A and B are shown apart, each in its own frame.
Chain A
Amino acid sequence: DVKVTQSSRYLVKRTGEKVFLECVQDMDHENMFWYRQDPGLGLRLIYFSYDVKMKEKGDIPEGYSVSREKKERFSLILESASTNQTSMYLCASRGWDRGTDETQYFGPGTRLLVL
């Protein structure tokens, strides 16, 4: 089974802090994604990465950056956390299912509270 893990289930940070959210997948997938989930808004794409050291902005990249130094790890960075970044953050990974797939596999999520 594909496994996507996220470093924390819950985080509490102060406004202005630098925050790192880590995501690791164990299936040698090239593609990885970061979404945030807010009530009534669904999931919105922040950044994605097609391969190591590659990144693309999603729909809401402002206030975030990412790092992908190794294939299995994709980090989301909040340079200076603000209260409007309080949210659920979901990481996803995409590989191939029997060679014909576009399925994204999700981690359990990190619920971030910025005070």
Chain B
Amino acid sequence: AQSVTQLDSQVPVFEEAPVELRCNYSSSVSVYLFWYVQYPNQGLQLLLKYLSGSTLVKGINGFEAEFNKSQTSFHLRKPSVHISDTAEYFCAVSVAGTALIFGKGTTLSVSS
């Protein structure tokens, strides 16, 4: 079975600072990896995904993530955050054809 661990439940940062949200997964087979964002009172929106190929994945809103198979990680990064990036971020994993399994989420709080 697969599992996902988001290592930080809350990450406070100042505007224009860089940020990294950490995600580790566990699986005995190859997986697909995703990051979703949820703004207050909204559903989940896909930020980026890794299916195969290049391990550095670029997504929307200036976010990127790097798949590291040896460390079973898929950390999300942004070089300079904005107030509008304040939201909850979810890392998720799936094996082909199965439902997504989510981490417990990381709340990113950006202040000025």
Contacts and interface: CB of A to CB of B under 8 A. Distances in A.
Whether chain B is bound by chain A comes out as: yes
Interface of A: 4, 33, 35, 40-45, 48, 58, 90, 92, 100-109
A35 to B, nearest CB: 8
A112 to B, nearest CB: 14
B13 interface: no
Nearest to A34: B99
Q: Which 4 A-B pairs have the closest CB atoms?
A: A42-B104, A106-B43, A106-B44, A43-B102
Interface of B: 6, 9, 32, 34, 36, 41-46, 49, 51, 90, 94, 96-97, 99-105
Contacts of B101: 45
Contacts of A107: 43
27 contacts: A4-B43, A33-B99, A33-B100, A40-B104, A41-B104, A42-B90, A42-B105, A43-B100, A43-B102, A44-B102, A45-B99, A48-B99, A90-B44, A92-B44, A92-B100, A100-B51, A101-B49, A101-B51, A102-B94, A102-B96, A103-B34, A103-B46, A104-B99, A105-B46, A107-B43, A108-B42, A109-B41
Contacts of A105: 46
